[in-house]
């Protein structure tokens, strides 16, 4: 039970003092889907600058061995740079296909093949899977959960997952889009501390140019990361990878 005074401080985001550290902590996870170049060029740099690490979901056959002209994905060396910075590497299929409707062989290739690729390239078996396009069925979920310990959807729970009765098959995320203010996303982090939920954020591309539908500006990402770092320093939230958050909420890993 959070003391009333402490709860009020959390609501107002005033207590960046550590006062509430012993009684309440929000749990926040930053995720990137797609392993795009912009996530490497801006996302990793900005997250590192604020001492944050999250989970990078990689479509393993779209990641290249070396930089290709005009290529939009990062290389395996760059994925390993995320790993070296403390990021968890999760799977996002092999070729970023809609999983429902694939025949069993193709489905196994996307789900089990992606796990094999990540193990081979990083030395660590992945435990988290994000369905491309957020597109899944009970059948694809069953197959995913035969290999992984958690499945992240595109949306769900407004991104604030119940810790007490977490369903690792359906970890919901809040997709951060350019029309959201950084204050709004920061407020969601404070709310996760107030109500004891696990907030999972999803970023696609991050750009210094004009953001498209699937991008946010680097300035917005930086403001959000800055807020997360400040709240973490104040003992209000903990920023964890999906793997580490699962162990905190009593999940399998």
Q: How far is the CB of 73 from Zn ion (least distance, A)?
A: 11
Q: How far is the CB of 35 from Zn ion (least distance, A)?
A: 9
Task: Output DSSP code: residue 65.
Answer: S
Q: Does 88 bind Zn ion (CB under 5 A)?
A: no
Return d(Cα 81, Cα 37) in angstroms, integer: 13
Q: How far is the CB of 92 from Zn ion (least distance, A)?
A: 6
Is the alpha carbon torsion for 104, 110, 112, 116 positive or negative? positive
Among 6, 10, 29, 34, binds Zn ion (CB under 5 A): 34
Is the distance from CB of 40 to CB of 74 less than 8 angstroms?
A: yes
Cβ proximity to Zn ion, 43 vs 132, nearer residue: 132
Cβ proximity to Zn ion, 90 vs 235, nearer residue: 90
**Contact letters (x/-) for Zn ion, 120-159, by CB under 5 A?**
------------x---------------------------
Paired tokens of 210: 């004009």
Q: By C-alpha distance, which of 138, 75, 147 is closest to 111?
A: 147
Q: Does 33 bind Zn ion (CB under 5 A)?
A: yes
Is the distance from CB of 250 to CB of 74 less than 8 angstroms?
A: no
Q: Does 110 bind Zn ion (CB under 5 A)?
A: no
Cβ proximity to Zn ion, 9 vs 202, nearer residue: 202
Q: How far is the CB of 154 from Zn ion (least distance, A)?
A: 9
Is the alpha carbon torsion for 100, 104, 108, 110 positive or negative? negative
Phi/psi-derived region of residue 13, left when phi > 0, alpha when psi is between -120 and 50, beta in every other case: left
Paired tokens of 164: 């007490």
Cβ proximity to Zn ion, 13 vs 129, nearer residue: 129
Cβ proximity to Zn ion, 112 vs 133, nearer residue: 133
Q: By C-alpha distance, which of 170, 174, 203 is closest to 187?
A: 174
Report how many residues bind Zn ion under the rule CB under 5 A.
Answer: 3
Q: How far is the CB of 232 from Zn ion (least distance, A)?
A: 27
- Extended strands (E) in 71-173: 88-91, 128-130, 150-152, 160-162
3-state percent helix, strand, coil for the chain, nearest multiple of 5: 40, 20, 40
Stretch that binds Zn ion, among 34-42, 117-125, 134-142, 243-251 (CB under 5 A): 34-42
Q: How far is the CB of 203 from Zn ion (least distance, A)?
A: 11
Stretch that binds Zn ion, among 17-25, 27-35, 75-83, 232-240 (CB under 5 A): 27-35
List residues binding Zn ion (CB under 5 A): 33-34, 132
């Amino acid at each position: 039970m959070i003391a009333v005074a402490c709860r009020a401080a959390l609501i107002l985001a005033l207590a960046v003092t550590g006062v509430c550290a012993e009684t309440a902590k929000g749990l926040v996870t930053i995720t990137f889907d797609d392993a795009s170049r912009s996530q490497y060029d801006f996302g990793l740099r900005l997250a590192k600058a604020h001492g944050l690490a999250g989970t990078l979901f990689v479509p393993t056959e779209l990641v290249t061995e070396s930089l290709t002209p005009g290529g939009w994905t990062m290389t395996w060396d760059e994925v390993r740079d995320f790993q070296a910075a403390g990021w968890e590497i999760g799977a996002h299929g092999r070729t970023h296909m809609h999983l429902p409707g694939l025949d069993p062989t193709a489905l196994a290739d996307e789900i089990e093949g992606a796990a094999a690729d990540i193990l081979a390239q990083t030395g660590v078996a992945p435990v988290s899977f994000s369905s491309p396009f957020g597109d899944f069925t009970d059948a694809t979920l069953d197959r995913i959960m035969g290999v992984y310990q958690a499945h992240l959807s595109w949306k769900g729970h407004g991104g604030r997952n119940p810790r007490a009765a977490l369903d690792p098959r359906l970890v919901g995320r809040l997709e951060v889009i350019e029309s959201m203010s950084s204050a709004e996303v920061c407020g969601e982090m404070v709310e996760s501390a107030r109500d004891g939920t696990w907030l999972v954020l999803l970023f696609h591309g991050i750009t210094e140019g004009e953001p498209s539908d699937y991008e946010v500006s680097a300035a917005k990402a930086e403001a959000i990361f800055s807020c997360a770092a400040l709240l973490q320093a104040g003992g209000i939230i903990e920023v964890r990878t999906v793997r580490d958050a699962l162990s905190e909420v009593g999940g399998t890993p």
